[in-house]
Structure 1
Amino acid sequence: MNFQRVILMDIASLGIGEASDAKDFNAVGADTIGHVAAEVKGTLKLPTLGRLGLGNIRFGHPINGLPPVDHPLGFYGKIHLQGMGNDPESGTREMLDYQDGTRVTSVIDPIVKFSDDYAQSIMITNYQSYIANQNLADIVAVNRDNLAFQTLHHEVNLPVKGFIYIALQNLRQDAENGDREAYLEDLREVDQQIAQTINEMHQTDLLIVTASFANDMTLAVSPTREYLPLIAYTPINQDGQSLGIRHSIADIGATIADVFSLDYSTESVGQSFLGELG
Structure 2
Amino acid sequence: MANKRMIILDLASLGMGEAPDANRFFSIGADTLGHIASKDLNVANLKSLGLGNIRWDNEIDTIAQEVAPRGFYGKMVNVISQNDASAGFREMFDYTTSLRTISVMDLMAEQKFNVAIISSFANYLEKQDEIHSVQVPNDSKAFVELSGQMDIQDSGLIYCQLPELKQFAHHKDVDGYTQQLSHVDKLLGKLMDNLREDDILIVTSSYASDPSYQRDVTREYLPIMVYNPQNTAGKSLGIKRSAGVIANVIAAYFDLDNHHEAKPNVIKEIL
Q: TM-score, normalised by structure 2?
A: 0.94
Asked if residue 262 in structure 1 is aligned to residue 266 in structure 2, the reply is no
Higher mean C-alpha displacement, 105-114 vs 84-93: 105-114
Post-superposition offset of 1:126 = 1.5
Asked if residue 63 in structure 1 is aligned to residue 60 in structure 2, the reply is yes
Aligned residue type for 2:241: H
Question: Sequence identity, in percent?
Answer: 37
Report the Cα distance in structure 2 between the residues aligned to 1:2 and 1:252, rounded to whole angstroms.
Answer: 22
Asked if residue 276 in structure 1 is aligned to residue 269 in structure 2, the reply is yes
The one of 228, 241, 244 equivalent to 2:238 is 244
Aligned residues of 2:3 and 2:156 also touching (Cα < 8 A): no
Post-superposition offset of 1:218 = 2.2
Unaligned runs of 5+ in 1: none
The one of 111, 118, 124 equivalent to 1:124 is 118
Aligned residue type for 1:171: L
Report the Cα distance in structure 2 between the residues aligned to 1:28 and 1:277, rounded to whole angstroms.
Answer: 34
Cross-structure match for 1:156: 150
Cross-structure match for 1:103: 100
TM superposition outliers: structure 1 runs of 4+ over 4 Å = 264-268
Aligned residue type for 2:265: S
Aligned residues of 2:177 and 2:211 also touching (Cα < 8 A): no
Report the Cα distance in structure 2 between the residues aligned to 1:26 and 1:265, rounded to whole angstroms.
Answer: 40
Aligned residue type for 2:213: L
Cross-structure match for 1:229: 223
Please list, as runs of the form range in 1=range in 2, the aligned pairs for 1:1-278 lying within 5 A after superposition: 4-37=4-37, 40=38, 42-115=39-112, 119-128=113-122, 130-131=124-125, 134-158=128-152, 160-263=154-257, 266=260, 271-278=264-271
Aligned residue type for 1:104: T
Report the Cα distance in structure 2 between the residues aligned to 1:16 and 1:148, rounded to whole angstroms.
Answer: 23
Aligned residue type for 1:276: E
Report the Cα distance in structure 1 between the residues aligned to 2:174 and 2:148, rounded to whole angstroms.
Answer: 30
- Count how many residue pairs are aligned between Structure 1 and Structure 2: 271
Unaligned runs of 5+ in 2: none
Post-superposition offset of 1:274 = 1.3
Aligned residue type for 2:248: A
Question: How large is the RMSD of aligned CA atoms in angstroms?
Answer: 1.9
Aligned residues of 1:99 and 1:264 also touching (Cα < 8 A): no
CA gap of 1:24–1:3, structure 2 versus 1, over 3 A, is farther
